[in-house]
Amino acid sequence: MPITSRTTRRAACSVLVATALSLTACSGGDETSSSGSGEALVVDTSFNLKTADPGRMYEQTGLLIDRALYDTLLGFKGSDVSKPVPSLAESYELSKDGKKLTLRLRQGAVFSDGSPVTADDVVFSLDRVRDLKGNPSFLLDGVTVEKTDDRTITLVSAKPNPSLPFILPNPALGILNSKVVKANGGAATPADKAEKYLNGQSAGSGPYMLESFNAATQVVLKANPKYWGATKPVYKRVVLRNVQSQTQKLNVQRGDSQIAVDLTADQAQGIGGGTQTVKGASANVFFLLTNRNPAVSKITSNPRFAEAVSKGVDYAGLLELAGEGSVQPAGIIPSMINGSLPAEQAPKRDVAGAKAALAAGGITNPRVKLEFPSDFTLNGLSFQPLAERIQANLKEVGITVDLAPAPIATALESYRDGKEEMGLWWWSPDYPDASNYLAFLPGGLIGERAGWKKGADKALEEAGAKAASTIGDDRFTQYHQIQAQLNARGPIVPLIQPSQRLVTAGSLTGLAVNPVWTFEIAALGRK
């Protein structure tokens, strides 16, 4: 998660919170004593968590939890994020101009207190997220929510918004019981005071309800006996514990937990103990930033320098370092999202070509500083070994790289201010749609941080604006072309998608990795 829209919102701020939390293994005690009987599911993870209030929540552990507590209008099936599927809405239709999304609410959905989910609840919930001005508010920027009739909701965007159906499954847009929340201080304004209540008990229609919440140690969910969905939750209780990765490994090996979320590739390898490992490429993309601002660097501002870096990196070596299940993205859009470039178009190492690019740019004996966070791991992968491998790769083409690791708070400041000569960062999607990656164009969030100002590449900017407003599958061809141009002349070098691996008890079924909420708690069962 780069520290981009979600990086700034979800990843960056939450990383700082997670770092400050006490990552201590829970002993189990009364909360987990029923795990052996199959009545409870115990999940060990390193908490990235601040609140259970959907209107304020935008951290990875919060997304996992709220996905179980609150139904959304639309969802995704398992790991497939290529097409939204019905949830509280039984159908949806996007207008030809892409500005109006009409959703038809299904009948029979009820909240955990038995009251029906209504169009009024939907309007209140979405308005609240947008108008609280909390971390997830940007998801509905420029969107108004209207009740057309008792079963019809219309979302109207100021600009064409073909990504809106892909945004609505985000757990931050879970639908609340408006009467209950209003009775406990809730309002669709920054004056809302319902967070304390929503951190004590949930007010949703999801398969689980909130039993207890502690952002530093443990969260307990209990099955919703009035859940309206066809598939009822298998586990009566789910206990999520804040646990260091090494202890996660020990716990799942000896059966004290059923899922370990944060094991490194080395920890997961040959774990045994009757466990199973579910793995695949994550949606996180590591990338190198080369600053185009000549006031920051006369070296990196030369476009030929980025070309030399792109050709000088040993991508296969980085994948080997990242471990089994990692992949090289062909462009900045990760492989599982519509609009990603075909794998065969991925850049390949070309040392001679890298040297030629430096020569063509008149760049001799370049020496640059590479900044990156020193105290954070992503999918079990530390930045330091990646940076060292890149340093060695570029030395072979004639580029001297001085490594400048710093605590993430310090590194973030330089990155956000656009002061890094070179940076090693990551991007995690705010929502699984190609439009989320327009931030890498000139004038976009990451473009600005790379010193690539608006107007720097008008042809590419016009292509981005066209793609953002195009409706239908034709837009994905446009994103292919945009990424090819980014690879050819942009200041960003996509590197790898690290593997996401979950180690579980051998008896667990139904686990599928999802790039938005990690996995679906309510889909889990046992043999």
- Residue-wise pLDDT for 31-74, tens only, equals 343 333 458 999 999 998 999 999 999 999 999 999 999 999 99
How far is residue 523's CA from residue 370's CA, in Å, rounded to a whole number?
Answer: 43
Query: Which strand (E) or helix (H) includes residue 412?
Result: helix 408-416
For tokens 């939204």, name the residue.
84
Domain 5-279+501-526 belongs to what architecture?
A: 3-Layer(aba) Sandwich (3.40)
Q: Nearest Cα to 212, choosing from 222, 224, 226?
A: 222
Amino acid at 511: L
pLDDT tens-place string over residues 100-127: 999 999 999 999 999 999 999 999 999 9
At residue 271, the pLDDT reads 87
Kindly state the DSSP code that residue 110 receives in the 8-state scheme.
Answer: B
Instruction: Sort 356 into a burial class: Cβ within 10 Å, 0-12 / 13-18 / 19+.
Output: middle
Indicate yes or no: pTM above 0.85: yes
Task: Compute the CA torsion angle 77, 83, 85, 88 (nearest 10 deg).
Answer: 110
Residues of the chain with CATH 3.40.190.10: 5-279+501-526
Residues of the chain with CATH 3.10.105.10: 285-497
- Report residue 485 as tokens: 């141009």
Q: What angle do CA 67, 68, 70 make, to 5 degrees?
A: 70
- Cβ count within 10 A of residue 119: 18
Q: What are phi and psi of 384, to 5 degrees?
A: -60, -50
At residue 9, the pLDDT reads 42
Residues in the chain where the model's pLDDT stays below 70: 1-38
C-alpha separations of 190 from 9, 134, 415 in Å: 17, 8, 29
- Residues sharing a CB contact under 8 Å with residue 216, sequence separation 6 or more, in sequence order: 21, 22, 47, 242
pLDDT tens-place string over residues 475-502: 999 999 999 999 999 999 999 999 888 9
- Cβ count within 10 A of residue 17: 15
At residue 38, the pLDDT reads 57
At residue 29, the pLDDT reads 36
Query: Which strand (E) or helix (H) includes residue 367?
Result: strand 367-373
Yes or no: say if 145 and 202 are a contact pair by the CB < 8 Å rule: no
At residue 452, the pLDDT reads 98
- Report residue 217 as tokens: 């140690």
Amino acid at 20: A
- Residues sharing a CB contact under 8 Å with residue 70, sequence separation 6 or more, in sequence order: 54, 171, 174, 175, 176, 202, 204, 205, 206
Coil, strand or helix at 188: coil
At residue 472, the pLDDT reads 87
Kindly state the DSSP code that residue 173 receives in the 8-state scheme.
Answer: G
Question: What is the assigned CATH class of domain 285-497?
Answer: alpha beta
At residue 306, the pLDDT reads 98
